Structure 1
Amino acid sequence: MCPKVTKLRDGEPRIIVSYNSRGQPIGNTKNDLASYEGLVARKVRITYENWKAVPKDVKKSCWKALKVKFVLKKDERRKRVSAIGASWKKFKSLLTTKYIRPFEDDPERLRYPPKIYEKIIPQNDWEVFVKQHISDEFKLLSAKQSARRKQKVYNHRISKKGYAGLAEELKMKLGPTFDENNRSYLWKEAHKDQKGLYPNDATKEVAEKIDVLNERVMEGSINTEGKNDVLTMAL
């Protein structure tokens, strides 16, 4: 994972992260940063119930680990630590769905951490984690979370690149005419499939509503100010 970053030795120049006008990491450095955040996240103990329960000194160490490899803005700490938390949550989910759930009836398979992670997951932590994630309480909570995800109607299609990556693609494609601060346009592009179509009627309805609202803004019949922009109105 991210050999370019992990091979950096002490004293070597750190990677300078590129940002767009909204202060979001972009380009290849964005991918390097995201990959290394995932690596740092996997060093946080998996026995904490949630990211909020992770001690402040551990989160501080995560931030320091990033700064050793990257040149980051001073005001980015909260965002980057939050991103590490999201990666940590995904890692725990991976362990549960791939290495625990399929083997609930095979205790022998659950005795030790997966070989691929045995160097970063202590045996005691693995045993606690397994017990936590085969309990009836966890299964009930997991079912509720799954139901919530299914209720999300407007699922975007931009995967790992995120909105910042999409904005960069559109900027290269459309040139100076593209406004990366136009949230409604970004939302529409993010929710199209590979054929340029919307996946369901609900998403299509919002997109059409955005078009109507933009026309009214151009006509001057409605005003947008601050957070009350076209996208907010459409949703």
Structure 2
Amino acid sequence: MSNPNVCGSTSGNDNTCGSGKRGRGQRGRTKAHDIINMPDGERIQIEVNEWGQPCEGESTAKLTTWIGTLARNHLYCPLTYPKWTNIPQSYKEDCWKAITAKFIIPEVSKTWCLDRLAKRLKDHKCDLKAEYYSKYDSPSDRRKNIDLQLIPLEQWDALLKLWDDKKHKELSDRNKKNKSKQKMRHRMGRTSYAVIREKLRNEDPEKKLPNRIKMFDFTHKRPGCSMDDESAEKLEKMQRELSLQPEEMQQDNDVIDETFTKVMGRDRRGYVRMFGPGVTPKQVFGLEGLRAQRQGQHISELRLENSQLKEQISQQGVEMNEMKSQIAMLMLFMTSFQSSQG
């Protein structure tokens, strides 16, 4: 690809970068002028964690802003394709080149960047649909009111055809219903799991990574605000389940992960809760850890049964000792009574 206007404006005017109609008092889309206008050869250093996720707050925010700018650029991310997976690899490679032109970031982070790009492109389509499709009833009004500085008419027509498709509408309705059922939400805003994990690690005296229960607790509440009811219920259940384990095992990472999985359910394929995009179960747990996670609920139940059995045996021992003590006292009383009768 030649060097297109990164703003994605069909008019060539930089001031329209990421622009769009918005109501009074509403924040417009970030234009990333500070990144666009960086001197040639200057790049921003990105710190990443052991999984290749950007983990420093300020630089990660700039990177995310830049990725959003690329996602809204129809020259880098054409809107003629229904899904991110349908976009030819050549466009994705051009996006990666545009990222590395502005940021010093290792190749291992490419998966994370492209995953974020896919998410931002999806968000961009949702914004366009809300602003220029759902507001109007007729195809002619939808074509007439589209901001051609945001998207060429031929790409807009492709989106209109997709959104008018019966199967797509049915899928969209199902997704809306499923989303409306979600009552448990994180409170992180734009801050990523990786940035929060690094923050908690730096605050730990031993610089240990926070476990998933701690991450859940931290990310589902805001300072001065209460946690939503379903999140609070899940957290309470995890803490209760963990307290049933022997005290010496309550700090064991495997036991904590088993408890988290028992309450929250198994992670979906290729994803690990509380880690964010770009991290797979194999990376976090390894092959043995992945197998252990799949069997975690069963193992946790066995350990709980074993612990309860030990408690029962211990209680029975106490009761047996009490009975022995009572029998001894009874024998002593009988001996004393016999002696007094003699």
| TM-score tier after normalising by the smaller chain length | 0.7 to 0.9
Deviation at 1:16? 0.3
1:168 deviates by 4.9
Q: Report the alpha carbon displacement of residue 189 of structure 1 after superposing the two structures with TM.
A: 1.6
Secondary structure of 2:93's counterpart equals helix
The aligned counterpart of 2:287 is: none
- Structure 1 distance, partners of 2:260, 2:199, is 21
SS at match of 1:18: coil
1:138 alignment partner in structure 2: 168
> 1:36 matched to which residue of 2?
66
**Is the counterpart of residue 189 in structure 1 residue 222 in structure 2?**
no
Task: Give me the whole-angstrom Cα distance separating, in 2, the residues matched to 1:80 and 1:184.
Answer: 26
Alignment partner, residue 87 of structure 1: 120
- Same amino acid, percent of matched pairs: 22
Picking from 146, 149, 154, the partner of 1:119 is 149
Verify the 8 A CA contact 2:53 2:109 in the aligned structure 1. no
Q: Find out whether 1:208 has 2:236 as its counterpart.
A: yes
The answer to whether the 8 Å contact 1:42/1:91 transfers is yes
What TM-score does the superposition give when structure 2 sets the normalisation length? 0.60
1:9 alignment partner in structure 2? 39
Note the 1:41-80 alignment, pairs <5 A: 41-43=71-73, 44-80=77-113
Change (3 A) 1:221 1:158: closer
Classify the secondary structure of the residue corresponding to 1:93.
Answer: helix
Q: CA deviation at 1:226?
A: 9.3
After TM superposition, give the deviation of residue 121 of structure 1 in Å: 1.6
Task: Flag the 1:221–1:187 CA change in 2: closer, same or farther, 3 A.
Answer: closer
Deviations 1:190-223 (A, max 9, x none): 11245342212x3222101222344326432796
* Counterpart residue type for residue 56 of structure 1: Q
Give the whole-Å Cα distance in 1 for the aligned partners of 2:52 and 2:246: 27
CA spacing shift, 1:231–1:194, aligned 2, 3 Å = same
Which residue of the other structure, out of 233, 255, 263, is the alignment partner of 1:234? 263
CA pair 165-221 structure 1, distance change in 2 beyond 3 A: closer
Provide TM-score, normalisation by structure 1: 0.84
**Unpaired segments ≥5 residues, structure 1:** none
Amino acid at match of 1:31: A
What residue identity is the alignment partner of 2:260?
L
How far residue 19 of structure 1 moved from its aligned partner, in angstroms, is: 2.8
Aligned residues: 229
Superposed displacement of residue 54, structure 1 = 0.7
Change (3 A) 1:228 1:169: closer
SS at match of 1:52: helix
- Whether 1:104 aligns to 2:104 is no
Among 26, 42, 48, which residue is 1:19 paired with? 48
- Asked if the contact 1:217/1:224 (under 8 Å) is kept, the reply is no
